[in-house]
Structure 1
């Protein structure tokens, strides 16, 4: 998964510039991001502070780990099921 070149505090700073009234195209040009990226960030992080953003990242990481664990366990169960069917 590609990581962002911007940290959470930088993203929040960019969003606060827009809230202060700076035009979005100018902000995007200044920071070298696309308008689609800006609006994606605004929908995901709009109204958050730094502590909420950190918590969101932690929850996303935990969710990713749990999905991986589930996939591995499901694969093990399928292998065991196939082995038992061949044995019987």
Structure 2
């Protein structure tokens, strides 16, 4: 078979087609080696579409996903702390206003 590179979209379409029409027929139709197909499918099952990003090892892709998750959690924590600080500030303002009224 002639060596050819496939885009991420083509790989996704071929994986979908193979699940619908059968692996053998799909591989023959597109001229793909079984090893290549199963490697694509493994990457897709493990990492989703990110598995088809060239230039990154699976370990690097995993690290990116971990960092994205950590980033999301830190943003949520920051939002909670900002809300907490705002509520504390509002309470202090109300308390100060009440104490000021009592003094008058």
Q: TM-score, normalization: structure 2?
A: 0.48
Aligned residue for 1:22? 6
For residues 65 and 87 of structure 1, the distance between their equivalents in structure 2, rounded to whole angstroms, comes to 33
Q: Alignment RMSD, CA only?
A: 2.8
Normalising by structure 1, report the TM-score. 0.55
Q: Residue 83 of structure 1: which of 83, 91, 94 is its match?
A: 91
2:83 & 2:59 partners in 1: Cα distance?
A: 37
Query: Aligned residues, how many?
Result: 61
Bigger Rg, structure 1 or 2: 2
Task: For CA contacts below 8 A with separation 6 or more, give which structure has more relative contact order.
Answer: 1
Structure 1, gaps ≥5 residues long: 1-19, 33-40
Structure with a larger share of its residues in helix: 2
Gaps of 5+ in 2: 17-48, 97-104
